[in-house]
Every structure is written in structure tokens, then in C-alpha cells.
């Protein structure tokens, strides 16, 4: 029964994803589910979510069913003399062991996912992210102590082109090659911000005077959108993030252009 209900939910979710979101990395109308996973981190998060959904649904159905059974079986009209049962050893063993098993089943993949999210394995490149009121600055460290640095600002409504997304488009996106493991070093220059890109499973606080680390790897070309997710002032909602994944040749061309 649980598998049947979960299956219907996932099928309906996939249909809405197909109808509304042919492109990864962006929200779509009437969205209620996750964006499509575009990185190993997000795939792990979605798998964890689906596991938890099945477990909590099973627990909720079990507890609700037991409650309804007890209310019906031991109603006053059928039991004028109330039961004085104080304990049942077998039941107590079961409801102690069952939660322990559930916790272990949840804990093992959860710890594995947290370790995977923590730090990248042999990153191919590093980008420093600096949150500011109310835009983002990015730095690409290069050889010989050189770097590429630029600011990324929101494109206002009046400057949007057809099919561009309101409050998500920027004048200078992050550009990365596909299938590259990208290490992000996140900090802030004024107040606390938060660098978040839902389809990549990224959400890392940008704190002044502190560097936080996260990573991602994108396997498909496209533009992936996010926003600042920490209330940071009057224009908090106007700090979009755009990450453009391109092939290696296009990335090298962009890199040379930025250095010239």
C-alpha cells in the first residue's frame, strides 16, 4: 500500500516536471517538488528525501491505525469497566527495537551524505564567492598568483530579454566546464548572506571574516539559478545567482577573454 501511494506521488511529480520543466536549474509554475537534480549532491539529497518519505509515511499510517483501533476497541460503550493493564513486556520490546532500527536505517545514508557534502574529492578548480549588499563577487584563482575577479548584479525588469527569468538573471554568471569538480570558498564582505542553488543542492552561509566550503559538479550544459537565502537587508530578494555550465572549449575561450 505504501509503495503504491509513493509510486503514484512520484509518477505525478515526474509528469509535472516533464510538462513544466524541460530545462534543469530553474523553477517552473505551480512547482511543489524539488527542482531536477543537476549534481551528485542534489541526487543524494533527493534519494535521502525519498527514503525518509517512505519511512515517515509508514510510521504515520501505523500509529494512526493503532490509535483508531484502540479508540474503537476500547470505547466506553463496549468496555464499561476500564482495563487496568499497566505494561506488556513484548510490546515494550517491540516499540523500543522498532524505533532503533528506523533510526539506524536513516542514520547510515544520512552520515554518508553529510561526509560527501562536506568537502570535494580532488577539485578541478576553485572559485571564491563573496556576498555583498546586494550582489555577488567572484574570484577565479589562476597560476602565478593571478586571478579573474568580477561582480554579478541582477538584471532589472526593464532590461530583461524574452524568455529570461525575472529576479534570477544576472549580468555576469559564474562559468564552469561540465563534469568539473568545483570547490567554492564562500564568505561575505558586510553582513551574513547565504549562497544557495537548489538544483545543485548547495546552500552555504556567507559570513564576514569566515570562509565556508562547499562544492558541486554539473554533468549537463545549461544555466542553473539560485538566490541569497539569508535575510541581508532591504534588497535581499534581489541577489540572484546564475551558474552557466559549458563545454571545455567554450570555458577556455571565456577564460582567455576574461584575462585579456
> Stretch 104-110: mean pLDDT, rounded?
92
Give me the percent of the chain exceeding a pLDDT of 90: 66
pLDDT in tens, 83-96: 787 888 998 999 89
How far is 233 from 133, CA to CA, in rounded Å?
7
pLDDT in tens, 13-35: 555 555 444 567 888 888 888 88
Unique residue bearing C-alpha cell 530545462 = 23
Residue 187 neighbours by CB under 8 Å, 6+ apart: 128, 129, 130, 131, 206, 207, 208, 209, 210, 211, 212
Taking alpha carbons only, the member of 154, 159, 158 closest to residue 235 is 154
How far is 178 from 138, CA to CA, in rounded Å?
18
Peptide bond preceding 13 in cis form (omega within 30 of 0): no
* CB neighbour class for 195 (10 Å; exposed up to 12, middle 13-18, buried from 19): buried
Residue 3 neighbours by CB under 8 Å, 6+ apart: 54
Q: In what order do the strands lie in the sheet with 240-246?
A: 174-177, 240-246, 222-228, 193-197, 202-206
* Cell numbers that stand for 163 in this block: 524568455
- CA dihedral over 225, 230, 231, 234, signed as positive or negative: negative
> Stretch 113-125: mean pLDDT, rounded?
87
DSSP SS3 for 170:
strand
pLDDT in tens, 185-229: 999 999 999 999 999 999 999 999 999 999 999 989 999 999 999
pLDDT in tens, 125-147: 999 999 999 999 999 998 888 89
Domains of the chain: 37-118 (1.10.287.90), 125-259 (2.60.40.420)
Amino acid at each position: 500500500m505504501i509503495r503504491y501511494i509513493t509510486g503514484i506521488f512520484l509518477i505525478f511529480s515526474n509528469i509535472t516536471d516533464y510538462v513544466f520543466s524541460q530545462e534543469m536549474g530553474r523553477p517552473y509554475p505551480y512547482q511543489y517538488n524539488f527542482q531536477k537534480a543537476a549534481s551528485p549532491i542534489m541526487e543524494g539529497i533527493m534519494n535521502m528525501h525519498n527514503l525518509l518519505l517512505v519511512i515517515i509515511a509508514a510510521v504515520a499510517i501505523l500509529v494512526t491505525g493503532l490509535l483508531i483501533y484502540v479508540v474503537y476497541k476500547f470505547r466506553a460503550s463496549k468496555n464499561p469497566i476500564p482495563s487496568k493493564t499497566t505494561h506488556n513486556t513484548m510490546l515494550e520490546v517491540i516499540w523500543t527495537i522498532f524505533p532503533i532500527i528506523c533510526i539506524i536505517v536513516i542514520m547510515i545514508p544520512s552520515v554518508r551524505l553529510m561526509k560527501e557534502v562536506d568537502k570535494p574529492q580532488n577539485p578541478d578548480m576553485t572559485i571564491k564567492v563573496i556576498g555583498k549588499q546586494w550582489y555577488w563577487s567572484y574570484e577565479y584563482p589562476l597560476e602565478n598568483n593571478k586571478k579573474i575577479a568580477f561582480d554579478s548584479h541582477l538584471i532589472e525588469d526593464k532590461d530583461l530579454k524574452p524568455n529570461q527569468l525575472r529576479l534570477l538573471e544576472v549580468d555576469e554568471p559564474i562559468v564552469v566546464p561540465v563534469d568539473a569538480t568545483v570547490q567554492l570558498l564562500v564568505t561575505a564582505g558586510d553582513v551574513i548572506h547565504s549562497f544557495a542553488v537548489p538544483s545543485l543542492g548547495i546552500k552555504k552561509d556567507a559570513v564576514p571574516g569566515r570562509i565556508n566550503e562547499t562544492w558541486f559538479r554539473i554533468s549537463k550544459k545549461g544555466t542553473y539559478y539560485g538566490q541569497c537565502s539569508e535575510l541581508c537587508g532591504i534588497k535581499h530578494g534581489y541577489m540572484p545567482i546564475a551558474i552557466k555550465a559549458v563545454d571545455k572549449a567554450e570555458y577556455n575561450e571565456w577564460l582567455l577573454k576574461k584575462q585579456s
